[in-house]
């Protein structure tokens, strides 16, 4: 898994790429927790994620909770169909704010 | 597969799974197994395709539980070959087998939860065994799986405090905690009331859809089998009688398949010589003693 972090005017965008699984999710978790700790809204771009397993989703959940505790925001954008099914199965689609595109996500956090 | 005059192997049917030409995640060729000198599986050949729900059915003593244990790589066969996720299990080293097993989830008939551990600890057990994930990640994963099986908030209870249906669901949660490529379920509906059994069937279908798993289910519950199966394997006395879709099995003209579907007792006609041999122990080795 690779990741890219870029700062836009209103948010930090974390773009994950590849598979987020048992091997790579600890790295994803570290990156996400670092970003939500910056006290800026975080958009997690999942458009280039081929597969995300439960450990990856758990890292997203922990990051969301950490962000909320500190009054920050975390938004998921461009969630793939497969990842969405996993989120829906655990009813997490009701927990996360999910936007179709990065642009929509930026509008959401403005 | 051993030739059997009653065996039906339908030509490639029009089911959706075949249209997509999915890969085979389990390939069994002419599998023979013994317990002692008794031959249990007598040349079983079948494959299970990616993202398929394969239901294995058969009467008591048909060999279905034995077949399941072999598919789960828990027992070694006498002859034949078996590949799981493309790996010939006879050729795997202990370490390769360890890694393969991480990709397999098993929901045992009894639940097989450890009575001295909480539900949450039971569910996280494979994560402790196979991963170095952060404890917070493990706990969130366990709670997610409990949510999936409708046991949210039960993580701190002991197994003894759960009903039979809850134990089965907790066993499912543990079986899927590692997001297995293949999930094996042994009699998931056995002993459950129809409403709970139906909910478990829905859960199996949902997990396949959401997680892309291949699922192998052993059951003798016809209603459940017809609801969840893409294909069924019908076993009888260690032979495969038939492999086919629900529709193909329903329409089968094989008498023994129809007897199974109609819950007809097995024909009790006996071969006098074979029976005599069984009683005197000659059938299993001549001088066998009890």
pLDDT above 60 for A103: yes
Mean pLDDT of chain B: 84
Based on the structure, what is the number of domains in chain B? 1
pLDDT above 50 for B15: no
The pLDDT assigned to B73 comes to 84
Residue B48 inside a domain? The answer is yes
- For residue B133, the distance in angstroms to the closest alpha carbon of chain A comes to 7
Closest by alpha carbon to B165, among B134, B196, B194, B143? B196
The pLDDT assigned to B20 comes to 47
End-to-end CA distance of chain B: 33
Chain B partners of A89 at a C-beta cutoff of 8 Å?
148, 206-207, 210-211
Q: Assign B12 a pLDDT band (cuts: 50, 70, 90).
A: very low
pLDDT above 90 for B83: yes
pLDDT above 70 for B194: yes
Residue B272 inside a domain? The answer is no
Report the distance separating Cα B81 and Cα B65, nearest Å.
18
pLDDT digits (tens, 9 = 90+) for B195-225: 888 888 988 998 888 878 999 999 888 888 9
Residue B178 inside a domain? The answer is no
- For residue B227, the distance in angstroms to the closest alpha carbon of chain A comes to 20
Of B130, B134, B209, the CB nearest to A26: B134
B179 and chain A in contact, CB less than 8 A:
yes
pLDDT digits (tens, 9 = 90+) for B149-163: 888 899 999 999 998
Chain B 153-172, CB below 8 Å of chain A: which residues? none
pLDDT above 80 for B289: no
Report the distance separating Cα A53 and Cα B103, nearest Å.
12
Contact A57 B179 (CB under 8 A): no
CA atoms within 13 A on the CB side of B10: 22
Residue in B closest to A27 by C-alpha:
B133
pLDDT above 90 for B18: no
Q: Residue B16: which CATH number?
A: 3.40.50.300
Chain A 13-72, CB below 8 Å of chain B: which residues? 21-22, 25-26, 29, 53-55, 57-59, 61-62
Cβ neighbors of B288 (< 8 A, separation 6 or more) are: B281, B282
- For residue A3, the distance in angstroms to the closest alpha carbon of chain B comes to 19
DSSP state, B150? T
Closest by alpha carbon to B170, among B143, B190, B195, B197? B143
Closest by alpha carbon to B215, among B244, B250, B179? B179
Residue B169 inside a domain? The answer is no
Instruction: Compute CA distances B9 → A20, B1, B151, whole Å.
Output: 40, 10, 41
The mean per-residue pLDDT over the stretch A55-74 comes to 94
The residue count for chain B = 290
pLDDT above 90 for B230: yes
The pLDDT assigned to A73 comes to 94
Residue in B closest to A90 by C-alpha:
B148
Task: List domains and CATH numbers for chain A.
Answer: 2-103 (3.30.750.24)
Q: What percent of chain B has pLDDT over 90?
A: 42
Contact B147 A55 (CB under 8 A): no
Residue B42 inside a domain? The answer is yes
The pLDDT assigned to B6 comes to 42
Residue B157 inside a domain? The answer is no
- More confident position, B55 or B6: B55
Which range has highest mean pLDDT (B90-99, B190-199, B203-212)? B90-99
Give the 3-state secondary structure of residue B156. Answer: coil
Q: Assign B9 a pLDDT band (cuts: 50, 70, 90).
A: very low
Residue B56 inside a domain? The answer is yes
Cβ pairs A/B, distance under 8 A: 54
Residue B232 inside a domain? The answer is yes
């Amino acid at each position: 898994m690779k990741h890219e972090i870029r700062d836009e005017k209103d948010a930090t965008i974390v773009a994950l790429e590849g598979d987020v699984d048992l091997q790579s999710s600890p790295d994803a978790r570290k990156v996400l927790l670092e970003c939500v700790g910056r006290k800026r809204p975080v958009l997690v771009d999942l458009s280039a994620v081929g597969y995300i397993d439960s450990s990856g989703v758990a890292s997203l959940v922990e990051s969301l909770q950490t962000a909320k505790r500190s009054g920050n925001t975390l938004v998921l954008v461009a969630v793939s169909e497969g990842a969405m099914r996993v989120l829906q199965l655990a009813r997490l689609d009701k927990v996360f704010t999910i936007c179709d595109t990065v642009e929509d996500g930026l509008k959401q956090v403005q | 597969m051993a030739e059997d005059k009653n065996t039906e192997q339908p030509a490639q049917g029009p089911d959706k799974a075949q249209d997509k030409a999915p890969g085979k995640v389990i390939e069994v060729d002419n599998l023979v197994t013994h317990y002692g000198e008794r031959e249990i599986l007598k040349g079983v050949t079948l494959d299970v395709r990616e993202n398929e729900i394969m239901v294995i059915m058969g009467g008591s003593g048909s060999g279905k539980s034995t077949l399941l244990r072999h598919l789960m790589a828990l027992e070694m066969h006498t002859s034949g070959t078996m590949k799981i996720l493309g790996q010939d299990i006879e050729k795997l080293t202990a370490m390769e087998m360890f890694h393969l097993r991480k990709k397999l989830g098993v929901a045992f008939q009894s639940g097989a939860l450890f009575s001295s551990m909480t539900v949450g600890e039971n569910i996280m057990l494979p994560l402790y065994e196979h991963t170095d994930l952060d404890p917070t990640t493990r706990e969130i994963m366990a709670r997610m799986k409990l949510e999936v099986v409708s046991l949210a908030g039960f993580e701190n209870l002991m197994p003894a405090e759960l009903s039979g249906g809850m134990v089965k669901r907790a066993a499912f949660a543990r079986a899927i905690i590692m997001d297995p490529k293949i999930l094996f379920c042994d009699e998931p509906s056995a002993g459950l009331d129809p409403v709970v059994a139906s909910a478990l069937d829905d859960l199996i279908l949902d997990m396949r859809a959401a997680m892309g798993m291949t699922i192998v289910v052993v059951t003798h519950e016809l209603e459940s089998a017809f609801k969840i199966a893409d294909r069924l394997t019908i076993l009888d006395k260690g032979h495969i009688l038939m492999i086919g879709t629900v529709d193909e099995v329903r329409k089968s003209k094989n008498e023994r398949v129809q007897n199974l579907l109609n819950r007809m007792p097995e024909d009790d006609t006996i071969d006098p010589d074979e029976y005599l041999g069984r009683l005197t122990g000659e059938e299993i080795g001549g001088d066998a003693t009890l």
